[in-house]
Structures are given as C-alpha cells and as structure tokens.
Amino acid sequence: MYYKKYGNTEMKMSAVGLGTMRYDDGLISAGKLEACAEIPLYAFEKGINYFDTAPFYCQDKSEEITGMALSQLKRDQFYVSSKTNFNAIKALSGGEISRDAFRRRLETSLARLKLDYLDFYHLWCVLSLDAYETQCEALYRFFEEARSEGLIRNIVFSAHLQGRDVEEGIVSAKFKGMLLGYNVLNYRFRQSGIEKAYEKGMGVVVMNPLSGGLIPQNPETFSFLTEGTDLNVAQAALRFVASHREVTVALAGCTTKEHIDDAVKAVEGLEELPAREVIAKYETQGLSFNDLCTGCGYCNSCPKGIEIPKFMDSYNQKLLTGREQEILDRLGGHWVIPAERAAECIACRKCEQLCTQHLPIAERLQEIAGLAK
C-alpha cells in the first residue's frame, strides 16, 4: 500500500481509504451485520488505514458495522471519520440545535463505532457558502469544545462546492482538512479548491472518484485512462485521483473483497504529481470532452439566480449515457435542485458569453425545463 502525509501533520494514511456507504444492502436487511464487518477488516489487512463513515449510511448501520470491525484492531493502527450537520443533529433531537443535541449525535457515533474519540469529525455536506456560514456560526464552537475534551482530534468539513467557493470561503485555519467530490469528470470544477487546500497545509480526502459509477459504466468513453497500464477503467479512474499530490486519500466504496483488491491494485507503484501535471498528462491522452461542461464556473452569474454549473454538470450525464432521465436524477439526487428552475431562464445568454467552451447553455436549460413538465 502507498501512504501519504495528511496535510502538514505527521499522520500517514493509505492512498486509498474505505468509504463505508456501500456495505451489502441484502446482508444488512437480513441482519447479518457481522458479515459486512468482514469488509473493513479485509481492507485493513490489505493496508487500508482510513475509514470514512456517517450517520444514515447503509440503512443507518454503517457506523455500527464499521465499529464491529475496528473494535478488533489496536486504536493507533487506523483513522476513522464521521460526520454531522443540522439534519443529523435534528434527527436525534426532535429538531433541536443545541450543545446537548450536538453532543448526543457525537456520542451516538462514538458508541456505534465503539470508540473513545474520532480522528476526524466533519461539518457535513456543505452545499453552498450560505449553508457553510450558517452552520459554522451555529456549530463550530461545539466542535471546538468536543476537541478540547478529546472526543475528536481534528475538525474537518465535507462539501459539494466548486473550487472557487472552496478557495474563497472555506479554506481557513478553522479546518484541518476537507472531503470533496473529485474525479475525471469534474476536476476543473474543483481543482483550484484542492490546490488551495494543499497550499495551506490541509489534508484532502476525495469521495466519488468514479462519479457515482458513471465512469465504469461507460468503459469505452474512458478507455484512454487505462492506456499504458494493466488497470481496468474503474482502477484507472481511482489512480487518476490518487496520483494528485494534493490528494491525501481517495475513498473507494467497496461491497466485496474483490472491490478492495481492485482499489489496492489501483495505487500500486503510485507516482504523485501536482494536479496540473496529472491533468496535462491525461489531457494529451483524451481527457477532453468537447460537449461536456468542464465545470470552470465562469457562467455562474445568472440574473435569475439559476445555478448554471450544476445544471450543466447534470446535463453531462445525458451526454455520457444517452439517457435524459439521468439529468433529472443528478439534479434531484445529487444537487437537490428542482429541474423546474431551468424554466426560469430568460435566454439572455450572458452565461454563453462567459462560457469558455461556448456551450449552448440556454438551449440545454430549455431542454431540461421540458423534461421537468
């Protein structure tokens, strides 16, 4: 296993971490949680020492399953992260946000994981700068109190923001690191964010390196990733992320031991390079999709407030799969934006004037609006 330092700390973590939201749903429904716990134990045997979990994952059993496994290991042999936010806290408190409610959620995670402390505790699922500011104002002091009491070691955050927002609003002394979705499809959307985090000495953990399965589901489209290797498309996409110098850990969601073997193989003999060099290398091999939005964000100045980069990211799913429904699934399931908002476009085409790829944005919004009817 290849290991990297977490930001400017002395913690060394496996280049691949286990994302624990993919435990076998059938086993969970059958109450066979111990069988699921074999997955993190096997991951540890293969050199993986970073485990990411959260409330609600896997029918709300992920923390419990992960705890079954980690309780069999020496505490100084692994790192574990969990998460909280308004929704997670309210789920246990009847809608209350308070110090006691925050503590109840944290203590529930610790009990499920059979731990005395968490290595990393995330301010979870930040979708906008407004949400970041609101939740920081309400919760950050509770994070600090828990850290001072030794219940958590590092305060971190997870977000679904474009790189500019990460740069401008979040990369600060408040956080030791971040968890961000990053892959071969959205790298331009978030590249500057991971670069700034690295520059400031933060650890960077990446989720969704396979774009929710979209990359391995379209092997011909992404076959260029495998050139000169003996990797399959999924492994090559994971290696693309892990090879970034700025990325500490790339999370792999694994249901089977074979999935773990695939993930471990992806980082064998890993060569780290600065993000810009990694991208330049792959762009010469084919990492350039002329009709795909690359997520630079320059178009995000709609007079009607339409979040155009997110709509264009969702439209990418149709271009890759040929299925219009994928647009709606991405908007609703990932971005949590009603597709009907596309109908608010007034076709001023300001966004198209700013688009570095000269994409037909207004036309695509009109198409999405039609699908939403």
Q: What is the pLDDT of residues 96-133, one digit of tens each?
A: 888 899 999 999 999 999 999 999 999 988 777 888 88
CA distance 126 to 138: 14
Between the ranges 69-83, 134-148, 180-194, 346-360, where is the mean pLDDT highest? 69-83
Average pLDDT for the chain: 90
pLDDT band at 237 (very low <50, low <70, confident <90, very high): very high
| Confidence (pLDDT) at 285 | 61
pLDDT band at 297 (very low <50, low <70, confident <90, very high): confident
Q: What is the pLDDT of residues 160-176, one digit of tens each?
A: 777 778 887 777 778 99
CA distance 292 to 227: 21
182-206: burial string, b at 16+ Cβ within 10 Å, e else? bbbbbbbbbbbbbbbbbeeebbbbb
CA distance 7 to 308: 32
Task: Go through the domains of the chain in sequence order and give each one's CATH number.
Answer: 3-282 (3.20.20.100), 308-371 (no CATH)
- Average pLDDT over every residue of 331-343: 93
Report yes or no: 40 and 18 within 8 Å, Cβ to Cβ: yes
The backbone torsions φ and ψ at residue 195, rounded to the nearest 5 degrees and listed phi first, read -65, -45
| Confidence (pLDDT) at 286 | 56
Query: Is the pLDDT reported for residue 301 higher than 90?
Result: no
| Confidence (pLDDT) at 335 | 92
Out of 130-139, 243-252, 263-272, pick the least confident: 130-139
Residues 6+ apart with CB under 8 A from 168: 129
Q: Nearest Cα to 195, choosing from 277, 99, 289, 298? A: 277
Q: What is the pLDDT of residues 304-326, one digit of tens each?
A: 999 999 999 899 888 888 889 99
Query: Is the pLDDT reported for residue 38 higher than 90?
Result: yes
| Confidence (pLDDT) at 221 | 84
The backbone torsions φ and ψ at residue 246, rounded to the nearest 5 degrees and listed phi first, read -75, -15
| Confidence (pLDDT) at 88 | 86
CA distance 350 to 91: 42
| Confidence (pLDDT) at 294 | 66
Q: pTM score, two decimals?
A: 0.81
Q: How far apart, in Å, are the Cα atoms of 87 and each of 56, 84, 182, 224?
A: 10, 8, 24, 41
Q: What is the pLDDT of residues 7-20, one digit of tens each?
A: 999 999 999 999 99
> How many other CB atoms sit within 10 Å of the CB of residue 75?
12
> How many other CB atoms sit within 10 Å of the CB of residue 280?
12
| Confidence (pLDDT) at 291 | 75
Query: Is the pLDDT reported for residue 247 higher than 90?
Result: yes
| Confidence (pLDDT) at 159 | 84
| Confidence (pLDDT) at 191 | 87
